Each structure stands twice: as structure tokens, then as C-alpha cells.
Amino acid sequence: MTDWAAWTGGRGRVLAGAAVVTALLLSFHGAVPNRVGGLGSLLESFLPWLGAVVAVLFVLAVVRRSAFALVALLLPAAAWTYHFGGLFLPAPDPGADDLVVVQHNVSDENTDPAGTARALARAEPDLVALEELVPPAREVYAETLAADYPYRVVRGTVGLWSKYPLSGSRPLDIKPRGIEEEWQRGLRTVAHTPRGDVAVHVAHLPSVRVGASGLASSWRDESAGLLGDALAAEEQGRVVLLGDLNATVDDRALDPLTTRLNVAERGLALSFPAGLPLARIDQVMARAGTVGALRTLPATGSDHLPVLARVVWH
């Protein structure tokens, strides 16, 4: 059998089938039901990693010398590029009117809050949003950031530090039913920036658990709905949401947010876990603006990586 005959024979049908299934999952992930073990949300949490599946299938197709499988792989490759390719394009040049923000879950087990605060300040953002603020570390963050960020608001375990004056600060009620203990993980304030007033929402949605029965996310999903209601009621035109949302922007659980706000157009910025980042669950979103570039900062004492974003106002 000639080499050409080997490539064009009937081999590789299983690989071609796997390629088609991968393309369907990328293109129609919303059709995967959530009723059984939260499978839809679980798939969407790791959707970018289907690109690795495409790469493995490509290697196997080459080893099998299957032109049939290679042609079939064009489908998932095109679907992945359409969905995620734009994140890897060069970011636009920074503008003088950009609002630079940092979002970081600092971890309630962080043993170096002062070092974490200094690391965030070195990035020179305009706003710094922090979650899992607990005493006595909370006071360390306040003291360390005070020189560069004289304005701050803290509600429960979330806080915002700003270079610009803040007003209208209040807690956000995003506490799901069933949580009985004291629980305050949301705030809203207005930052009076040189570009105009911006309503800033800081939130930390409940964690999810992955077990033998699938994805347990009911509290997170309910909290996301409550946060979406607060955003819908926000009267300020310009809005920024900063938070550990315990979900990726592809996860349908964040539909109450992603249908109202713009998400990052550039930068994959996987943020969790810090040692081997698998997903970006730390988010920056905006209304009346574009999140034009998003990237992670070096690791701190947290199990999350900080993310930095530039918001360009329309």
C-alpha cells in the first residue's frame, strides 16, 4: 500500500467521530443539560480546555495517518478559534482614559497580607477589589494600601480601595437562602474618577463543589441571580463589576451578569488555583465600557492569582 493510500483509507473513523463530538460541545455547550449533576456548568467551566482535546486528536490522527480524521478536526479547530481565538489577539494600546482595576481573592489563609498588598499596588491600578478580608489581615491591607489608595470601603469580607473619592457605599444583599450564619460578600459604591462617576460592584459568590454526584452550585447560582438584579437596578450609566464569582464567563450560571455587562475581549487570564491555573473565576465586567485587556499578575500568598484589567469607556 502506498503512503497516499494509507492516508486516504478508511482508518480514523473513531477519531473523526470524536472530533465531531468535540465541535458540537464547543458550539452547542448550552444544550448540555444541568439537571443531572450540573453537567452543563461543569463543561462550561473548562470549555477552553477542549482545545487540548483537539491537539491530542490531531497527534493521534497523524500517527494513524488518517486524512479523514484530519479533515474532521477542522470542525472543532474552527469552533475553538471562533470562541476563544480573539482572547489571544494583541491588546490595544493603553489610553489615557482607561480605568485600570485589579481584582484579587486574597485568601483568608494568606500569611503575608502586607506583601500581597504591596504587590497589587506595584501594578498601579486605579481601583483594587479584595475578597476574603478577615481580621487581623484586613487592618494590614488598610494600612499598607493607605498611602496610594486613601479611599476605601469594606463590607463584611469584601472591600474596595480607590485612588479617587467614593460615595454612596452600601452592602449588596446577595446572600442565598439556606445560609444561616453571618454572611456579607457584596458591596456597591460610586468612584468619582477624572473620567466621570463609575458605580463599582464588588462581589464574592459562594463556592461550588465537584463530587461523585457532579457539580453542586445552587447557592452560587442563586447569588448570581441576586447580583444580576442589583445590576439591573443600578442607575449609574457606567458600571464595573469586580469579584471572585466562582464561575467562568462561559458558565450559564453567570447569565444574569453576562447578559447585562461586557466581558473581557482580550486575555485568557486563568486565575485559579494559583499553583496550576485551570479556570478564570476572578472576573472584571463593565457596562458602557469594554474590558479591553485582562491579564494575571504574579502569585501572592493566595490560592488565586490577581487579575488586572483595563476598562475603556464607550
Residue 175 lies in a domain: yes
Q: Which of 60, 88, 116 is the last residue of a domain?
A: 88
Q: Examine the domain organization and report whether 172 and 35 are in the same domain.
A: no
Number of domains in the chain: 2
Which residue from 281, 271, 136, 279 is spatially nearest to 203, judged by alpha carbons? 281
Residues 236 and 271 occupy one common structural domain:
yes
- Cα 122 → chain centroid: 22
Cα 228 versus chain centre, distance: 16
Q: How many helices (H) and strands (E) does the chain have?
A: 10, 13
* 116, pLDDT greater than 50: yes
Whether residues 30 and 117 fall in one domain: no
State the pLDDT confidence band at 1, using cuts at 50, 70 and 90.
very low
pLDDT tens for 201-250 read: 999 999 988 765 567 789 999 999 999 999 999 999 999 999 999 999 99
Q: Indicate if the pLDDT at residue 77 is higher than 60.
A: yes
Under the banding of pLDDT at 50, 70 and 90, the label for residue 9 is: low
> What is the pTM (predicted TM-score) of this model?
0.92
Both 214 and 233 in one domain: the answer is yes
Residue 288 is given by DSSP the state: S
Q: Name the residue range of residue 162's domain.
A: 99-313
Are residues 63 and 143 both part of a single domain? no
Looking at per-residue pLDDT, the higher value among 105 and 35 belongs to 105
Do 242 and 122 reside in the same domain of the chain? yes
For residue 8, what pLDDT band results from cuts at 50, 70 and 90? low
Dist CA 168 CA 188 (whole Å): 8
Question: Does 203 share its domain with 296?
Answer: yes
Cα separation of 66 and 107, whole Å? 49
Note whether residue 49 is domain-resident: yes
| Least reliable range by pLDDT among 5-14, 92-101, 107-116 | 5-14
* CA–CA dist 311, 293 (Å, integer): 8
pLDDT classification of 286: cutoffs 50, 70, 90: very high
CATH number at residue 194: 3.60.10.10
d(CA 228, CA 171): 15
